[in-house]
Amino acid sequence: MNPQIIAERDNTLILFDSGKVVTVPNTLYNQVKYRDFKGDRISYHFNDDMYIQETYDNGIFNAFINEETLNIRDSVALCECIKEHQNHNNSEKYELLFKKLYLRENKDKIMKEMISVFGERVDMRTRDDKTTYVIDDRFMVDDHGVSHYKSDVGHWKFLCTVAQGNLSKMSISTKIGDIELESTELTIMGKIGFLLAPDITDSVFFHQLSEKMQDVIKQEIQLDSSSLGGT
């Protein structure tokens, strides 16, 4: 016989299970599991391509969109998605949750595709589970969106920069649809763009660099200007 809810308190659900009275926390997950699914593993389809299946471990789910799979442990968030779909026939909440977690789990893969438009000028490097983006082998943005520059002796030093341009929205096409980048990824992309074409009139940025690097960048800008003038 499946567990039955025999009483409900503010913080507790009281169940009758296999001849015994037991209690569980009164969470949305337990409400869905014991009221809607009678204590069985939760299995729910939002549509043919979007569904979840609870594993044999309570509160841990395999989640699917278009055959892409995630292991999700936020049982309350998933149950909120179920209730939203049951009450309003709307799967957007589940789709947004899946995409948010998919971006985090596949961040390096997605960011590598994003920076591929810059060609060899931007090198994505991963070491000890930390990812950095090296620009022209003289600037670097870490995976927190913090900028650095290479000193004259080859050491990375902190560089105060502000991401430039409109960073309000940027998305990438994936197997599960378009995914919008989150704030950290937007900052990384914005700073990469700035460091690819540094603005020497930005005195806060430019005066942090060594005199040697300042001279090199000035010379490059002069060469670019001469090249454009000669066309």
pLDDT in tens, 84-112: 999 999 999 999 999 999 999 999 999 99
Q: Find the angle CA(152)-CA(158)-CA(159) to the nearest 5 degrees.
A: 90
Nearest to 95 by CA among 71, 78, 75: 78
Give the residue-averaged pLDDT of 114-128.
94
Regarding predicted confidence, which is higher, 193 or 231?
193
Confidence (pLDDT) at 216: 94
Q: How confident is the model at residue 228 (pLDDT cuts 50, 70, 90)?
A: low
Contact 183, 191 (CB under 8 A): no
Task: Let me know whether 75 and 128 are in one domain.
Answer: no
Final residue belonging to a domain, choices 64, 85, 105:
105
Amino acid identity of 164?
Q
Element (H or E) spanning 219, and its range?
helix 211-229
Final residue belonging to a domain, choices 105, 135, 154:
105
Contact 150, 139 (CB under 8 A): yes
Contact 65, 98 (CB under 8 A): yes
CA trace torsion 40, 41, 45, 51 (10° rounding): 180
Contact 145, 184 (CB under 8 A): yes
Query: What Cα–Cα distance (Å) separates residue 36 from each residue in 3, 31, 42, 79, 157?
Result: 11, 7, 9, 11, 56
Taking each helix axis from N to C terminus, what angle separates 92-105 and 107-115, rounded to the nearest 10 degrees? 80
Q: How many domains does the chain have?
A: 2
Task: Let me know whether 92 and 184 are in one domain.
Answer: no
Confidence (pLDDT) at 19: 87
Confidence (pLDDT) at 223: 86
Task: Let me know whether 178 and 135 are in one domain.
Answer: yes
* Backbone Cα Rg of the chain: 26
And the tokens for 161?
């920069």
Q: How far apart are CA 158 and CA 162, in angstroms?
A: 13
Tell me the residue range of the domain where 174 lies.
107-229
Task: Let me know whether 39 and 133 are in one domain.
Answer: no
Task: Let me know whether 162 and 118 are in one domain.
Answer: yes
Task: Let me know whether 220 and 174 are in one domain.
Answer: yes
Confidence (pLDDT) at 167: 64
